[in-house]
Structure 1
Amino acid sequence: MRTSILGKTGLTVSKLGFGAMRLRAISHTEADRVINHALDRGITYIDTAASYGDSEEKLGSAISHRRSEYVLATKTMKRSYGEAKQEIEQSLRLLRTDYVDILQIHYVNYPQEYREVRAADGAIRAAEELQSKGYIGHIGITGHRPELLARWLRDYPFATVLFHLSMVQPFAKRELMPMAESLDVGMIAMKPISGPFLSKVTESLRYSAASSAHVVLSGMQSIAEVDANIAALERSVDAEERAALEEMAAGLDEHGCRRCNYCSCPLGIRIPDTLIPSRYRQKYGLLEAGELMWQQSADKFAQCMTYEPCREQPLCQQACPYHLPIQAEIRRAMG
């Protein structure tokens, strides 16, 4: 397994990171097998969160006895000092550890949320306090709006940043990653296959790995997935392959969606899950689970075109911070 130094944290991490969110969908016994297999194969970066169901509990049960073998990151979505401190302490108990290497302030997508966590009684104060006592090694941030994350990296000395990076969501390359590089912030790229969507898994993983990200974080829930992901990233990406991957990805981001989730649809159309894979679907097809998810929204596309409250200006477009022509994109996806 190839490794890198995670920015200014100084931590040595595997190029492939284990995203533990999907552990909540499998049994404790299977989770034990999968995560120990991942460690045995050389994966040393483990990512979880308090909001990932029983993921922390399963990790604690499975690998706390191997604590020296991996870098452990967890997250809090709480915004206030008291709630964040309580949640972080609970995470430590569930993970059966005295410390986490990285505590990430999670899913910060609105400026108001950032103001809340940065306030005197905000979540960052709780993280700093626990850091000073040795329970936290480094403080990071996660979110779905790369241009805002870039701004916030200038405002506070976050040690790491977690963001989307894939063939269908390359937006972090434009502002966020250059800013992170200039500040020596550890970069963790998540969702390289965009959740359940991108069918060319190896190429998708290698596209993300061809970037300057220190870790490519992939959600895994089986030994087969662990082995396949490791195989995909065994060797580095050379200049010729990088160019081919960029050519493969060309135009797949024209939907413009960052998955910030500002929008919502009264008809139940999952807008990010519709827009983000739409061009990829037309060109390469989706994984089976992704196609099923996409079709759940597609069944409602015709209603979108005639829904009275959205005739003059669709409600989702009014909420979108990027002013995307969402209804036109849905019409395009209808063919």
Structure 2
Amino acid sequence: MNYRTLGKSGLHVSEVGLGAEHLQGLPAEQVFAVVDRAIERGINIIDVFMSEPQVRTDIGRAIAGRREQVILQGHIGAAWLDGQYRRTRDLAQCQRFFEDFCTRLGVETVDIGMLHYIDDEADFERVFHGDVLKYALSLREKGTIGALGMSSHNPIIARKAVETGLLDVLLFSINPAYDVMPGDAALDSLFDAESYRSPALAGIDPARALLYQTCAKNNVGITVMKSLAAGALLSDRTSPFGRALTPVQCIHYALTRPAVASVLVGCRTPDEVDAAVAYEESSAAERDYSAVLGTAPLFSMEGRCMYCNHCLPCPSQIDIAAVGRLLDMALLHEHGVPATAAEHYKALSAHAGDCIECRSCERNCPFHVPVVERMHRARELFGL
């Protein structure tokens, strides 16, 4: 495994890291197996944004006794209320769930404390001129967090945050599909076929390029999320380029952006960890993504769910990411719903048929996925 310095944090992180969001809902033994394999293969950085208590506890058990081998990226502003994830700016809730993070993971300090999911101007102003930032800075001053970071999907807001001089690290969504889009575009246009046909988008969007350059100039290290676009880039059918990229190509694309130190790949199994770490032994030819990006036709990714559950809370207690993942699994099969998908769907505590169409999920979703429409489709397919 190769290691890179994560900007002015000074941390030396594996260039392939683990994004833990897909571990939520898995049996504890599977969580242990994934974390074990990651550490065995040299991965030393893990992002844990999830506020769900059990997955935090299981990850804590998985790293017990080897804390010194793991760089933890934990989030300030991710809460678990009424049995669901919620993004919060309430100071008491931020404190409560950051302390819960430390308790459940069995740690006294967190290497990187992330201001969680800031994507628009109003939220930026609320956080950076309010008590949440003061709390985060106090944690850094006391040494409870080693470095201060922020997670975002918006290059304009992210650059504004970097230019404050307060951040050591930025967690940002980087992949080829996102990078050709204008920074001020609504995120739903990331999935609109016509958006990709403009001659002005022949290369990387200037706002995103400027963000990466600004991070490099300010020595703010970037850790990467969504490098595979929740697997959409790995299939001819769902890639906006009309041809699949490989995990190695996606990882290489992100690692060749300025200031990027680590690509955090979401893995659910040890084999998926191995597939990501295969980057380390790949050839230049295997890493080369130019043939796909340079010649492939483009088509729509509209409605593509990233399974991140940023759309929660749901008043009907629907696990929207789980429903979405099972729906997409079913839609990939031309001969009916796979039995395994149907079984897992039935076992969910709430189903698409419980949706009351309040659309709070659509207002919360950073990717503007038409959630209600997808709930209708899931109910049709699964009958619940």
TM-score normalized with structure 1 length: 0.72
Whole-angstrom CA distance in 1 between matches of 2:252 and 2:53: 29
User: Structure 1 residue 166 and structure 2 residue 175: aligned?
Assistant: yes
Pick one of 91, 108, 114 that aligns with 1:104.
114
Pick one of 254, 257, 265 that aligns with 1:208.
254
Deviations 1:144-189 (A, max 9, x none): 1111111121124211111111121115742321111111101011
Alpha-carbon shift at residue 229 of structure 1 (Å): 0.7
Q: CA RMSD in A?
A: 3.9
Pick one of 199, 217, 233 that aligns with 1:182.
217
Asked whether the 8 Å contact 2:174–2:225 carries over to 1, the reply is yes
Asked whether the 8 Å contact 2:212–2:257 carries over to 1, the reply is no
Asked whether the 8 Å contact 1:8–1:184 carries over to 2, the reply is yes
Whole-angstrom CA distance in 2 between matches of 1:137 and 1:49: 17
Whole-angstrom CA distance in 1 between matches of 2:98 and 2:270: 29
Q: Aligned pair in 2 of structure 1 residues 240, 228: CA closer, same or farther (>3 Å)?
A: closer
Whole-angstrom CA distance in 2 between matches of 1:223 and 1:43: 12
- Letter of the aligned partner of 1:149 in structure 2? A
Q: Aligned pair in 2 of structure 1 residues 190, 240: CA closer, same or farther (>3 Å)?
A: closer
Asked whether the 8 Å contact 2:73–2:112 carries over to 1, the reply is yes
Whole-angstrom CA distance in 1 between matches of 2:266 and 2:289: 23
Alpha-carbon shift at residue 291 of structure 1 (Å): 6.3
Whole-angstrom CA distance in 1 between matches of 2:327 and 2:255: 24
Asked whether the 8 Å contact 1:206–1:233 carries over to 2, the reply is no
Whole-angstrom CA distance in 1 between matches of 2:230 and 2:52: 15
Whole-angstrom CA distance in 2 between matches of 1:29 and 1:127: 33
User: Structure 1 residue 151 and structure 2 residue 186: aligned?
Assistant: no
User: Structure 1 residue 2 and structure 2 residue 9: aligned?
Assistant: no
Pick one of 113, 137, 142 that aligns with 1:128.
137
Asked whether the 8 Å contact 1:49–1:56 carries over to 2, the reply is no
Deviations 1:222-247 (A, max 9, x none): 01000111003434758993544542
- Letter of the aligned partner of 1:229 in structure 2? A
Task: State how many pairs are aligned.
Answer: 284
Whole-angstrom CA distance in 2 between matches of 1:237 and 1:149: 31
Identity value in percent? 25
Deviations 1:248-297 (A, max 9, x none): 67857998x9x9x99xxxxxxx9xxx9xxxxxxxxxxxx997565699xx
Q: How does 1:1-335 map to 2 (within 5 A)?
A: 1-51=1-51, 54-77=54-77, 78-121=88-131, 123-170=132-179, 171=181, 173-197=208-232, 198-199=234-235, 200=244, 201-202=246-247, 203-212=249-258, 213-235=260-282, 241=288, 243-244=290-291, 246-247=293-294, 290=328, 292=330
Alpha-carbon shift at residue 35 of structure 1 (Å): 0.2
Whole-angstrom CA distance in 2 between matches of 1:249 and 1:136: 44
In the alignment, structure 1 segments of 5+ residues that lack a partner are: 263-269, 275-286, 296-314, 327-335
In the alignment, structure 2 segments of 5+ residues that lack a partner are: 78-87, 184-207, 236-243, 312-319, 334-358, 371-384
Q: Aligned pair in 2 of structure 1 residues 251, 149: CA closer, same or farther (>3 Å)?
A: farther
Q: Could you say which residue in structure 2 is the equivalent of 1:284?
A: none
Whole-angstrom CA distance in 1 between matches of 2:48 and 2:23: 9
- Letter of the aligned partner of 2:11 in structure 1? L
TM-score normalized with structure 2 length: 0.64
Between 136-145 and 76-85, report the one with greater CA deviation: 76-85
| 4+ aligned runs moved over 6 Å, structure 1 | 252-255
Deviations 1:172-222 (A, max 9, x none): 742321111111101011111101323243332332233232111111110
Whole-angstrom CA distance in 2 between matches of 1:29 and 1:159: 34
Q: Aligned pair in 2 of structure 1 residues 245, 179: CA closer, same or farther (>3 Å)?
A: farther
Asked whether the 8 Å contact 2:25–2:55 carries over to 1, the reply is no
Alpha-carbon shift at residue 85 of structure 1 (Å): 1.8
Asked whether the 8 Å contact 2:118–2:157 carries over to 1, the reply is no
Q: Aligned pair in 2 of structure 1 residues 168, 132: CA closer, same or farther (>3 Å)?
A: same
